[in-house]
Amino acid sequence: MNLTISGHHLELTPAIREYVESKLVRIKRHFDHVIDIAVILTVDKLPEKEKRQKAEINLHIRGKDLHAESIAEDLYAAIDSLIDKLDRQVVKHKSKIQDHQHEAIKHMPEPVVAAVAT
């Protein structure tokens, strides 16, 4: 698995890098066929004296690319929200894959219907 973390208008500290890696363990726990992960962290300085922290992620897995982004006033809150969104997408994708691998109808046992006497 290739992990790329980049920052725009932001210096990536080892603490931020470690925080992102620790949060990505949750994604790996649900789905271990991840090929490539690209994380982009951005700080936008707006003229209204507030900063907007943005976190984006592109996750490349076999057969599909997943994308999520989150915006918050705190970078750690944006990363938490981003991982929550991506986790829901991964779980949904995993359930779709597993739903297509069910047993054929002709091999299922016939249901037994009990006669009710009145």
| Phi, psi (degrees; rounded to nearest 5) at 62 | -65, 115
Q: Has this prediction a pTM greater than 0.75?
A: yes
Q: Please give the order of strands across the beta sheet that includes 51-61.
A: 2-8, 34-45, 51-61, 64-72
Q: Spell out the domains of the chain, with CATH numbers in brackets.
A: 2-107 (3.30.160.100)
Q: Please state whether 51 falls in left (phi above 0), alpha (psi between -120 and 50) or beta.
A: beta
Residue 34: the pLDDT is: 84
List residues bridging with 36 in a β-sheet: 2, 60
> According to the model, what pLDDT value does residue 117 have?
62
Confidence at residue 46, expressed as pLDDT on a 0 to 100 scale: 76
Give pLDDT tens digits along the chain (118 positions): 789 999 998 899 999 999 999 999 988 888 777 889 999 999 987 776 667 899 999 999 888 899 999 999 899 999 999 999 999 999 898 888 877 655 666 666 666 666 666 5
Tell me how far CA of residue 27 lies from CA of 5, 23, 31, 39, 40, in angstroms: 16, 8, 6, 13, 17
User: For residues 10 and 41, what is the distance between their CA atoms, to the nearest angstrom?
Assistant: 7
Q: Report residue 28 as tokens.
A: 């790996």
Kindly tell me the burial class for residue 110, based on how many C-beta atoms sit within 10 Å of its own C-beta (0-12, 13-18, 19 or more).
exposed
